[in-house]
Amino acid sequence: MGHEVAHALADHGGQRMSLNLAQQGLSLVALKASQNQPKAKRKAILTVYSIGSTLGGILPFSRKHESEADKIGLELMAIAGYDVAEAPLLWKRMKSASNGKTPPEILSTYPSNERRIENIKKCGTEALEVARKINSQ
């Protein structure tokens, strides 16, 4: 639950809308810049732009948001008194439940299960420190 609340607190929806608008705007630039090209070359230019902007911009941005929401969610979890050591165990169960049927990370909007587990383990101590500071006030 903390993960989803973190998306709202970090304004990920607004940031994603801004990035999508930028991608669309640059797409219009590519359309205009390639308008005098032969049809096949224009199609190739637009395809390269689409794939490049998705793999190089949209997907990494989304994975960054997911990792940020995991971190903030852990902090919220710790502040609320939940055991942050349970979070990596949840992702280990999610990994097992996927039966290895996840896309490669580069093609996904989410970090790989392995990366999430690793990042959550790293952030656990920080989350506990944030909770200690807030709860001691």
Reading the chain (137 residues) residue by residue, the pLDDT tens digits are: 899 999 999 999 999 999 999 999 999 999 999 999 999 999 999 999 999 999 999 999 999 999 999 999 999 999 999 999 999 999 999 999 988 889 999 999 999 999 999 999 999 889 999 999 998 88
> 2-11 burial, b for 16+ CB within 10 Å, e for fewer?
bbeebbeeee
pLDDT value of position 99? 87
Provide the number of structural domains found in the chain: 1
- For residue 120, what are the domain limits? 2-135
> Maximum distance among all alpha carbons in the chain?
67
Instruction: Report the C-alpha gap between 122 and 42 in whole angstroms.
Output: 46
Q: pTM here?
A: 0.86
DSSP state of 84: T
Q: Token pair of 95, please? A: 């990994």
Provide the residue type at 33 as one letter. A
pLDDT given for residue 137 in this prediction: 82
* Closest C-alpha to 106, from 50, 54, 48, 68: 54
**Which two structure tokens, joined as six digits, stand for 93?**
């169960």
Are 111 and 64 a contacting pair, CB within 8 Å? no
Alpha helix (H) ranges present in 34-112?
39-53, 59-79, 86-97
Q: What local confidence, expressed as pLDDT, does residue 101 receive?
A: 87
Point out the residues that are catalytic: 4
Residue 136: its pLDDT value, please? 87
Q: Which residues contact 57 (CB under 8 A, 6 or more apart)?
A: 19, 23
Q: What is the model's pLDDT at position 49? A: 95
pLDDT (0 to 100) of residue 69: 97
Which whole-number Å values give the CA distances from 113 to 6, 24, 85, 105, in the listed order?
19, 30, 16, 9
Question: Which pLDDT score is estimated for 100?
Answer: 81
